[in-house]
């Protein structure tokens, strides 16, 4: 990139706009100013998903590529606060590392998602000729660079988006605590839950993706995930994660899971502009760890999608026993399912 009048390239301008100040400190200076133990500081810093606290600002790696290693006074404050949190009250260093790792992984994915969205918007603004003004002679002036457009977008989303992040975190934290209290009231292990797990995936996605352009594949998966999330949340379920062309969700009760499964098929499989889908449901005890779920019901729900026909729901026997009479179920012929041996899948429909 060409340097600007102050000798900084466009990437530096963006970095400074986002961070609010120019990175000028080394990792050693961050540790020294924060007054913390270097080894523990590095452990907490790594848990956030960042490079090591070493190197000089603007140094190059072995391949000769300039890397963003410089730090700011905000980094000093962050390291100091992280270290203080790990040394006060009931929070020890290991707990602090687990919490910061959750923040780091979540924020990393959020940042990648935001950048992808903003890049799309920048391309749209370029195509629309945004920011191009007419000269005195009537001809079009010089259009803004992509960096200029990116800087404008960064300023526009600024503090308002930060406020929304904290708000959303508090709301989700309150909901998670409420679920934890419900488990505690039932005198159950707070690390396990009895739920119905759902697994929805796109039929023949590999073959389908081979026939689509890259942009179209991304748009398709994004719309698939969006509609799954909307349906599950509307039925008071939780989407645990998206795995490529699949979505893993769970409900506290099988009826809610069935509503979500039917809704996903309705808004995706029945839409002629969307691909076919399959949904598998399995009920039982799962382990709750690091925002994820583990256990036989998770694996079985995923395996059942391979049994389901296009735009159909297949469930396990445990889920069938929990459904009310408003649902008709019937066992299908036994078949081998990887990791479970022979099982009898159960087909289901509303009576």
Question: Does position 168 have pLDDT exceeding 80, yes or no?
Answer: yes
Question: Does position 201 have pLDDT exceeding 90, yes or no?
Answer: yes
- pLDDT (0 to 100) of residue 292: 87
Question: Does position 19 have pLDDT exceeding 60, yes or no?
Answer: yes
Confidence grade of residue 228 (pLDDT, cut at 50, 70, 90) = very high
- pLDDT (0 to 100) of residue 151: 79
**Is 17:8 a contact under the CB 8 Å cutoff?**
no
Instruction: Convert the pLDDT of each residue in 256-280 to its tens digit.
Output: 999 999 999 999 988 988 999 999 9
> If DSSP states are collapsed to H, E and C, what string results for the chain?
CCCCCCCCCHHHHHHHHHHCCCCCECHHHHHHHHCCCHHHHHHHHHHCCCCCCCCCCCCECCCCCECCCCECHHHHHHHHHHHHHHCCCCCCHHHHHHHHHHHHHHHHHHHHHHHHHHHHHHHHHHHHCCCCCECCCCCECCCCCHHHHHHHHHHHHHHHHHHHHHHHHHHHHHHHHHHHHHHHHCCCCCCEEEEEEEEEEECCHHHHHCCCCHHHHHHHHHHHHHHHHHHHHHCCCEEEEEECCEEEEEECCHHHHHHHHHHHHHHHHCCCCCCCEEEEEEEEEEEEECCEEECHHHHHHHHHCCCCCCCCEEECHHHHHHCCCCEEEEECCCEEECCCEEECCEEEEEC
Instruction: Give me 62's structure tokens.
Output: 């072995």
Confidence grade of residue 162 (pLDDT, cut at 50, 70, 90) = confident
Instruction: Give me 41's structure tokens.
Output: 């500081």
Instruction: Give me 255's structure tokens.
Output: 């009826």
Does the predicted TM-score (pTM) go above 0.85? no
Instruction: Convert the pLDDT of each residue in 284-334 to its tens digit.
Output: 999 988 788 999 999 999 999 988 899 999 999 999 999 999 999 999 999
- Number of Cβ within a 10 Å radius of residue 161: 11
**What is the distance between the alpha carbons of residues 330 and 223, in angstroms, rounded to a whole number?**
32
Question: Does position 33 have pLDDT exceeding 50, yes or no?
Answer: yes
Question: Does position 36 have pLDDT exceeding 70, yes or no?
Answer: yes
For residue 214, the Cα-to-chain-centroid distance in whole angstroms is: 21
- Kindly give, in sequence order, each residue whose CB lies less than 8 Å from that of residue 23, ignoring residues fewer than 6 positions away: 15, 16, 57, 68, 70, 71, 72
- pLDDT (0 to 100) of residue 155: 78
- What is the torsion angle, in degrees rounded to the nearest 10, for the CA atoms of residue 154, residue 160, residue 165 and residue 170? 170
- pLDDT (0 to 100) of residue 2: 46
For residue 255, the Cα-to-chain-centroid distance in whole angstroms is: 26
- pLDDT (0 to 100) of residue 138: 56
- Mean pLDDT for all residues in the chain: 82
- pLDDT (0 to 100) of residue 312: 94
């Amino acid at each position: 990139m060409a340097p600007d009048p102050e000798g900084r390239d466009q990437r530096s301008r963006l970095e400074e706009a986002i961070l609010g100040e120019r990175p000028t400190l080394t990792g050693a200076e961050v540790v020294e100013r924060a007054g913390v133990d270097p080894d523990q500081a590095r452990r907490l810093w790594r848990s956030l998903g960042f490079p090591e606290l070493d190197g000089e600002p603007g140094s190059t790696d072995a391949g000769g590529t300039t890397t963003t290693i410089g730090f700011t006074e905000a980094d000093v404050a962050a390291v100091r606060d992280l270290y203080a949190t790990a040394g006060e009250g009931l929070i020890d260093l290991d707990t602090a590392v687990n919490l910061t790792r959750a923040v780091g992984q979540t924020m990393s994915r959020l940042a990648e998602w935001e950048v992808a969205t903003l890049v799309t918007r920048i391309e749209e603004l370029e195509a629309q000729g945004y920011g191009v003004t007419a000269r005195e002679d009537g001809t079009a002036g010089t259009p803004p660079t992509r960096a200029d457009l990116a800087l404008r977008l960064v300023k526009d989303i600024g503090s308002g988006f930060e406020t929304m992040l904290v708000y959303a975190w508090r709301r989700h934290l309150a909901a998670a605590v409420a679920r934890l209290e419900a488990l505690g009231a039932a005198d159950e292990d707070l690390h396990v839950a009895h739920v119905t797990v759902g697994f929805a995936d796109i039929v023949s996605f590999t073959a389908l993706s081979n026939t689509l352009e890259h942009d179209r594949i991304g748009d398709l998966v994004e719309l698939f995930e969006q509609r799954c999330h909307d349906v599950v949340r509307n039925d008071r379920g939780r989407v645990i994660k998206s795995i490529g062309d699949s979505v893993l969700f769970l409900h506290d009760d099988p009826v809610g899971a069935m509503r979500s499964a039917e809704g996903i098929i309705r808004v995706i499989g029945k839409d002629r502009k969307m691909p076919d889908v399959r949904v598998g449901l399995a009920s039982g005890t799962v382990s709750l760890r690091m925002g994820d779920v583990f256990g036989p019901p998770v694996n079985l729900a995923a395996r059942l999608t391979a049994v389901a026909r296009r735009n159909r729901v297949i469930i396990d026997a445990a889920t069938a026993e929990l459904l009310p009479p408003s649902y008709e179920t019937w066992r299908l012929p036994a078949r081998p399912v990887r990791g479970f041996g022979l099982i009898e899948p159960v087909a289901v429909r509303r009576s």
